[in-house]
Amino acid sequence: MSVGFGAGMTAADSVAATSAPEGGEGYETGSVWRMILAVFLENRLAVVGIGLIVFFILFSFAGPFIYHTQQTYTNLSIENQGPSLHHLLGTDGDGYDNIGRLMLGGQTSLEVGLAAAILAVFVGVIWGAAAGLAGGIIDAVMMRIVDTMLAIPFLLLLILLGTIFTVSVPELVMAIAFVAWLGPARLVRGETLSLRVREYVQAVKVMGGSQRRVLLRHIIPNTVGTVVVNATFQVADAIIAVATLSFLGFGIAPPATNWGLQLSNGTDFVYAGYWWLIYPAGACIVLTVMAFNFVGDAMRDALEVRLQKR
Amino acid sequence: MIGYLVRRVFQSLVVIIGVTIITFILLHLLPGNPVVAILGPRATHADVVALTNQLGLNKPLPQQYLIWLSNLAHLNLGYSYKQTESVDALLAARLPNTLLLVGTSTVLAILVAVPLGVLQSVRRNKPDDYVMTGLTFVFYSMPTFWLGILLIIVFSATLHWLPAEAPQAQNSLLSQVNGLVLPVVTLALVTLALFSRYMRSSMLENLVQDYVRTARAKGVSGRAVLFRHVLRNALLPLLTLIGLSIPGIISGAVVTETVFNYPGMGYLFVQSAFGYDYPVLLGVTVVVALATVIGSLVADILYAVADPRIRYV
């Protein structure tokens, strides 16, 4: 598990020193993206990662249409049975088919992970860019707020939020985003600080362009590369956060389920030996998170390559 | 240098005050009524009112905050709603345990991550690099609780080498060292994954610098270049990373403590959250945030001592 929401990756990213291209446009020409794509696809781990992501999305969302299980009525007479022809990965404590549970859990885990990451990045980018552009006192205040929230370990914040709000999917998404936006905010602020002294930004000001135009048309598009990399890692972190929260007991209440909750329930049966309730859920989490990490790593390498060929 | 120190300390103070405000606001959004929680469902209305007044919960929020803040300055964190001890007694009992867990894990992680990162950078793109990087990736992607459970399954349930639960003796954890092994190893592995990845990329960045080429041209042996020049420069960003990672490591410790029933602050926090135990939650958060701020302050100061360039930031 990454030990901090994007904070570790933020520092690593700043060491990797990605920054925007010279030239002024916020939009890159097609050939550059094609080059990035080529480098990206060369990285076999990245291809594996994308493959895994696609697999899990299909498994969770399209799977139930192919492998029919009923997830509404419990059937305690067949609870905790091992794998059989009828139930390929056995049944869980309520008599539900386990693969069906994994599909349902995957839907929630992936939904929350993706939504939280997108929201976090959205908020973080705007906050960071605005702070970096504004400078002075406003920048100092905005960044102190970020620092303050970073000082509280994210899990403590998440648990606190989990006790305040009755947890449903939208609230879970907002809670995780509430903790995760700090990483992109710091990252984008750093990028903005280095971007705002570029000639083309100053040219826009000389021409009479507003700050808002500078922000939206020039600064933010030029941070897209780093932001996308960070967003990928945010998804990975968010999926782990959902799983951890559910494991601790602060996640979404049944009958909704997610992989973390299934893993948590499964661990009650460690000594009983019901491996099918434990390992598949854990494997799903680890494989999905690894996939996003592969993709994020490969994208970061691809971006660096582009910069080296400048 | 002094100017840098003063600015950093001032920043830290601002952050600490901000933390107290945020936690105070958050905790007063909690829906559970602590007075009812203390008195139980059979309390009469008069009892509830009396206890509310006694605990000072009917005063306006800013006033409550100031009262609490002044108590904090006197190291009085209040009384737990659920348990019969004062918050600082609870924390005093648990804080050393958590410090032991976090400290040992972090030191272990650093001790393994640095050589591992150096090794990975030297043997870049060779098979052993792939294996090590692959393993680090796997540990990096695992939720902490999953790793803990796996270790329990392997070492406790199957092999019976180590106990599944941490030692519960209140006075001395060190009396049963083998109960400490699994929690420390779990937390260390997860932290290690992050540190060694970072160390590896930091080393790789430094190895392509000009000064390395100069040193080699001067005839310095490969090993001396590595350890006397590159390693020192590569370690510096790791210092900052360690400072930044402290909140994350503590989050990991919360999970690890819960998995292993380790009597530390993280476990206390989780239990108190279930019981809406305001003062304990607030106390733990403040203490942990304080530790984090001090930790990153120390890391930054060490960095400034080691690297004169950043003193003028």
The number of CA neighbours under 13 Å toward the Cβ of B179 is 17
What's the length of chain A?
310
**pLDDT for res A3:** 43
Q: For A91, which DSSP code? A: B
Question: How far A304 CA lies from chain B's nearest CA (Å)?
Answer: 12
Q: Distance between CA atoms of A196 and B29, rounded to whole angstroms? A: 40
Q: Which of residues 131-150 of A touch B (CB under 8 A)?
A: 144-145, 147-150
Under 8 Å between Cβ of A59 and A281:
no
pLDDT in tens, A166-208: 678 888 888 889 889 998 998 888 888 888 777 777 888 888 8
Q: What is the mean pLDDT of residues A147-165?
A: 81
Under 8 Å between Cβ of A11 and A187:
no
**pLDDT for res B236:** 80
pLDDT level of residue A14 (50, 70, 90 thresholds): very low
Structure tokens, A161: 């939020």
Q: Distance between CA atoms of B270 and B281, rounded to whole angstroms? A: 9
Show the CA angle centred on residue A25, arms to residues A20 and A214, nearest 5°. Answer: 85
Q: DSSP per residue over B184-195, as a string? A: HHHHHHHHHHHH
Sorted by sequence, the CB contacts under 8 Å of residue A294 that are 6+ apart come out as: A45, A46, A48, A49, A52, B137
**pLDDT for res B77:** 66
Q: How many CB atoms lie within 10 A of CB B298?
A: 14
Question: How far A49 CA lies from chain B's nearest CA (Å)?
Answer: 12
The number of CA neighbours under 13 Å toward the Cβ of A146 is 27
Closest Cβ–Cβ partner in B19, B255, B296 for A148: B19
pLDDT in tens, B190-206: 999 888 888 887 887 78
Q: Distance between CA atoms of B52 and B47, rounded to whole angstroms? A: 8
Complex confidence, ipTM: 0.80
**pLDDT for res B106:** 92
Which of A245, A112, A232 has the alpha carbon at shortest distance from A184?
Answer: A232
Q: Distance between CA atoms of B213 and B200, rounded to whole angstroms? A: 19
Cβ-Cβ contacts under 8 Å between A and B: the total is 180
List per-residue pLDDT tens for chain B, 313 residues long: 777 788 888 888 888 888 888 877 776 666 556 666 666 667 677 777 777 777 667 777 777 778 777 777 776 666 666 666 777 777 888 888 888 889 899 999 999 998 888 888 888 777 777 788 888 888 988 899 999 988 888 888 777 777 777 776 655 666 677 778 888 999 999 999 888 888 887 887 787 778 888 888 888 777 777 777 788 788 888 888 888 888 888 888 999 998 888 888 888 888 888 877 777 887 888 888 888 888 888 888 887 777 777 665 5
Residue A97, classed as helix, strand or coil, is strand
Please give, one letter per residue, the 3-state secondary structure of B70-121. Answer: HHHHCCCCCECCCCCCEHHHHHHHHHHHHHHHHHHHHHHHHHHHHHHHHHHH
Sorted by sequence, the CB contacts under 8 Å of residue B87 that are 6+ apart come out as: B77, B78, B79, B80, B279, B280, B283
Under 8 Å between Cβ of A1 and B252:
yes
The torsion of the CA quartet B30, B31, B37, B39, rounded to 10 degrees, works out to 120
Q: What is the mean pLDDT of residues A80-85?
A: 73
Closest Cβ–Cβ partner in B14, B145, B289 for A152: B289
Q: Distance between CA atoms of A131 and A140, rounded to whole angstroms? A: 8
Q: How many CB atoms lie within 10 A of CB A77?
A: 8
Tell me how far the alpha carbon of residue B134 is from its chain's centroid. 25
Is A153 near chain B, with CB under 8 Å? yes
Q: What is the mean pLDDT of residues A266-288?
A: 84
Q: What is the mean pLDDT of residues A1-30?
A: 45
Of the residues A52, A141, A163, the best mutation for testing chain B's interface (the one with the most B CB atoms within 10 Å of its CB) is: A163
**pLDDT for res A23:** 46
Contacts of residue A261 in chain B, CB cutoff 8 Å? none
